[in-house]
Amino acid sequence: MDAFGGPIWSMAASPSGSQLLVGCEDGSLKLFQINPDKIQFERNFDRQKSRILSLSWHPSGTHIAAGSIDCISVFDVKSGSAIHKMLVDRQYMGVSKRKCIIWGVAFLSDGTVISVDSAGKVQFWDSATGTLVKTHLVANADVQSIAVSDQEDSFVVGTAEGTVFHFQLVSVTSSSSEKQWVRTKPFQHHTHDVRTVAHSPTALISGGTDTHLVIRPLMEKVEVKNYDAALRKITFPHRRLISCSKKRQLLLFQFSHHLDLWRLGSTVATGKHGDTLPLSKDADHLLHLKTKGPENIICSCVSPCGSWIAYSTASRFFLCRLNYEHDNISLHRVSKMPAFLRSAVQILFSEDSTKLFVASNQGSLHIIRLLEGSFKHLHTFQAQSGTVESMCLLAVSPDGNWLAASGTSAGVHVYNVKHLKLHCTVPAYNFPVTALAIAPKTNNLVIAHSDQQIFEYSIPDKQYTEWSRTIQKQGFHYLWLQRDTPITHISFHPKRPMHILLHDAYMFCIIDKSLPLPNDKTLLYNPLPPTNESDVIRRRTAHAFKISKRYKPLLFMDLLDERTLVAVERPLDDIIAQLPPPIKKKKFGT
């Protein structure tokens, strides 16, 4: 639905969650009522001169603060009129800037409004009188984001210089009850703009243009440096961005606005461990598929046979047929997609490429039969009653009989594709699923969770397998549990049923279920022992987790055929080189 105010710059839900306020380009503020089935326009607020860039509700929901250009307005929600308009100084270190943009506001329950602006100021205002209480100049560039803790005794701001500042409400002297906001800690973990910050009870979280998500735990009083107190940096999305056609050896790369299809090269040479082989045929860039319009690609998939590509943006679903004639390829878009296929969260093809599984953002799962150049809708599994959560991960068994789907919290549902009914549900676990796969032949479902736990669930028996029970009883190695990045892909070797291949951003691992599990005293990362050692030693040091850190940061890894693995690295330097330059800081005489 349209708010009829031009681009929407800001949005805020009321503390009770029943109302939504949007700030528009033309300076209008519009209040919407959120009903379970739809969003309904309720009222316009007094229109302001320029665009509304930031909004914040008073915790009681009676007032709101809106940051615009050069001024902050405080509105009464009931009447919709502005009670105070607080003008922000354009002056910046004596130099008058063109405009002062209020990037963020926060309304505290005692009536204080905190604003952050493009002149590098953090300002405290009294909303009752509309006066400036205090100014902190924290940066020479824009302060772009603010987040307040639930307790309202500390908040965090992020600047365009990549710095994050922590402010705390502390007593002025040891014995007085008078409290003051004090800038306590600066953190510099980003190289570029910090676009957003969040404040959890135990950590400060910041995300910026440099593609990093930084989690900085507030655990100063921990005496022993342990894992929980460590700083985390997360770079890659926890989703699969690459899909692979095993038959034709194709890789489909998903970017925000285009898809790239590559055919892998080959070699005729052989070599020993560690050799780089000469290429007899180089990798080919087959296809560059650009989307129209401004929407990002949400998900994409290439079929195992290589002749279908499906992808989806926020509002449209696309299905394309690829024809290969010698070296030429031609692409036909399948037109007339049914109305229910508007937007997908996850797409998957069956192993024989005859079926397409689409997880819609409404929580339902569609099964489509693919014919030569056309398709037929087979069935739709409706969302479980009472949930609106969409399924964000899908896995299909190689024999095509089972389909596993997982949302963010409500467990993994396994469907019988032949009889088109729900087969069973793996009980919900406290942490979300990050990867799913069904093993060939045994139809064991392997589930990786974000807390690094791995479960193996037998679909035919509807219970956890013996191996899964064993590893849960013994527990994972502590180093395994302390990894930062989640498992993003799981695959299996067709000839070795005891092996599970999985990878995260910094390692790939083959779990050999026939070997003993490592305990905390054994070395988890156990590089290949030298061949000259006796078999006894090799056997004694061997355990189920075979880890290789050869390729990192690893974006994708899959088994192409019995003897070939394909791995995609994404060097961070390449990403940073493409980023817009950060704010230049003058250093000494340069």
Partner 1 sequence: MAALEEEFTLSAVPLGAGPDGLLGVEQCDKTDQFLITDSGRTVILYKVSDQKPLGSWSVKQGQVITCPAVCNFQTGEYIVVHDSKVLRLWTNEDVNLDKVFKATLSAEVYRILSIPGTEPLVLFKEGAVRGLEALLAEPQQKIETVISDEEVIRWTKFFMVFRHPALIFITEKHGNYFAYVQKFNSSVVSKYTLLLGQEEKSVIQSFTASLCRKFISLMSLSSDGCIYETLIPIHPSDPEKNQHQRVVRSVLLKTVVSGNARNALSVLDQDHVAVLGPPLPASKECLSIWNTKFQTLQISKELPQGTSGQLWYYGEHLFMLHGKILTVIPYKCEMSSLAGALGKLKHGQDPGTQTMPHFVNWQTSQGLGSQNSEPSKRILRRRKIEASVQPEVPASQQLLSNIKKDSEKHIEIELRKFLAIKRTPDFHTVIGDIVIGLLGRCKTEPSFYPRSSLMQLIQMHVLSYSLCPGLMEVALEKTDVQMLQLCLQQFPDIPEAVTCACLKMFLSIGDDSLQETDVNMESVSDYSDAVQEEKMEEQTGILQNGFNPEEDNCDNCDKELSEKPQNTIEETTSCPVIPKRAALLNAVLHSAYSETFLLPHLKDIPAQHITLFLQYLYFLYLKCSENATMTLPGIHPPTLNQIMDWICLLLDANFTVVVMIPEAKSLLLSLYKFVKSQICICSELNKIEVSFRELQKLNQEKNNRELYSIEVLELF
Q: Given the complex with partner 1, which of 271 and 373 has the nearer CB atom?
A: 271
φ/ψ of residue 188, rounded to 5: -125, 90
**123-131, 152-160, 208-216, 237-245 -> range binding partner 1 (CB under 8 A):** 152-160
**Minimum distance from CB of 343 to partner 1 (Å)?**
29
- Residue (92 or 429) nearer to partner 1, CB: 429
Task: Figure out which of the listed residues 39, 170, 378, 420 binds partner 1, where binding follows CB under 8 A.
Answer: 170
For residue 292, the minimal CB distance to partner 1 (Å) is 29
Choose which of 220, 327, 535, 562 interacts with partner 1 (CB under 8 A).
Answer: 220
CA 218 to CA 216: how far, in whole Å? 6
Tell me the C-alpha distance between 479 and 422, whole Å. 37
Nearest approach, Cβ of residue 516 and partner 1 (Å): 14
Pick the closer one to partner 1 by CB: 219 or 231: 219
Region binding partner 1 by CB under 8 A among candidate stretches 267-275, 319-327, 377-385, 392-400: 267-275
Classified as helix, coil or strand, 472 is helix
Phi, psi of 229 (to 5 degrees): -90, 0
* CB closer to partner 1 out of 268 and 339: 268
Q: For residue 553, state whether it binds partner 1 (rule: CB under 8 A).
A: no
CB of 23 to partner 1, least distance (A): 19
Compare residues 352 and 520 and give the one whose CB is closer to partner 1: 520
223 interacts with partner 1 by CB under 8 A: yes
* CB neighbour list of residue 318: distance below 8 Å, 6 or more residues apart: 310, 311, 312, 333, 337
Map the footprint of partner 1 across residues 493-532, applying CB under 8 A: 510, 512, 520, 528
> Do 415 and 381 contact (CB within 8 A), yes or no?
yes
Contact mark string toward partner 1, 186..215, x via CB under 8 A: ---------------xx-------------
Shortest distance in whole angstroms from residue 143 CB to partner 1: 22
Burial class of residue 457, CB neighbours in 10 A (0-12, 13-18, 19+): buried
Q: Are 158 and 147 spatial neighbours (Cβ–Cβ below 8 Å)?
A: no
Output DSSP code: residue 56.
Answer: E
Q: Write out the binding residues for partner 1, residues 62-91 only, by CB under 8 A.
A: 77-78
Cα–Cα dist 5/22, whole Å? 9
Establish if 430 lies at the interface with partner 1 (CB under 8 A).
yes
Which tokens belong to 84?
């105070």
In the bound state with partner 1, the residue whose beta carbon lies nearer, of 61 and 497, is: 61
Q: Whole-number minimum distance, CB 190 to partner 1, in Å? A: 22
| 176 sits near partner 1 (criterion: CB under 8 A) | yes
Stretch 97-116 residues interacting with partner 1 (CB under 8 A): 109
Binding of residue 324 to partner 1 (CB under 8 A): no
> Are the CB atoms for 291 and 257 separated by under 8 Å?
yes
Rank residues 275 and 372 by Cβ distance to partner 1 and give the closer one.
Answer: 275
Distances (CA, A) of 477 to 110, 162, 330, 481, 521: 48, 36, 50, 7, 9
Among 1, 35, 98, 151, binds partner 1 (CB under 8 A): 151
Mask for 363-402, x = binds partner 1 (CB under 8 A): ----------------------------------------
Residue in 227, 288, 377, 466 binding partner 1, rule: CB under 8 A = 227
User: Could you give the CA distance from residue 436 to residue 405 in angstroms, rounded to a whole number?
Assistant: 8
* Least distance to partner 1, CB of residue 472, Å: 4
Stretch of 140-148, 313-321, 396-404, 478-486 lying at the interface with partner 1 (CB under 8 A): 478-486
User: Which residues have CB under 8 Å from 425's CB, separation 6+?
Assistant: 411, 412, 413, 414
Distance CA 588, CA 566 (A): 48
Give the tokens for residue 390. 């969409």
| Minimum distance of partner 1 from residue 274's CB (angstroms) | 7
Considering the complex, state which of residue 305 and residue 446 has its C-beta at the smaller distance from partner 1: 446
Tokens of 270: 């052989």
Determine the length of the chain: 590
In angstroms, the CA 160 to CA 164 distance is 9
Residues 6+ apart with CB under 8 A from 590: none
Q: Which of 2, 7, 35, 174 binds partner 1 (CB under 8 A)?
A: 174
DSSP letters spanning 65-86: EEE-BSEEEEEETTT--EEEEE
Member of 171, 256, 315, 374 binding partner 1 (CB under 8 A):
171
Among 50, 140, 168, 522, binds partner 1 (CB under 8 A): 168
Closest CA to 42 of 12, 64, 27, 21: 21
Hey, which residues between 273 and 312 contact partner 1 (CB under 8 A)? 273-277, 279, 282-283
Q: According to CB under 8 A, which one of 25, 153, 389, 399 is a site residue for partner 1?
A: 153
Q: How far apart are CA 99 and CA 436, in angstroms?
A: 50
Q: Which of residues 433-472 bind partner 1 (CB under 8 A)?
A: 453, 464, 468-469, 472
Out of 311, 548, 555, 558, the residue judged to bind partner 1 by CB under 8 A: 548
The answer to whether the Cα torsion of 574, 577, 580, 582 is positive or negative is positive
Cβ distance to partner 1 smaller for residue 357 or 464: 464
96, 172, 177, 468 from 514: Cα distances, Å: 71, 64, 64, 12
- What string marks each residue from 26 to 65 as x (binds partner 1 by CB under 8 A) or -? ---------------------------------xxx----
Work out the burial of residue 43: count CB atoms within 10 Å of its CB; fewer than 13 is exposed, 13-18 middle, 19 or more buried.
middle
Stretch that binds partner 1, among 286-294, 348-356, 545-553, 578-586 (CB under 8 A): 545-553
- Residue 7: partners with Cβ closer than 8 Å, 6 or more residues away: 24, 25
Q: How far is the CB of 167 from partner 1 (least distance, A)?
A: 11
Residue 143 and residue 138: Cα distance in Å, rounded? 8
How many residues bind to partner 1 according to rule CB under 8 A? 79
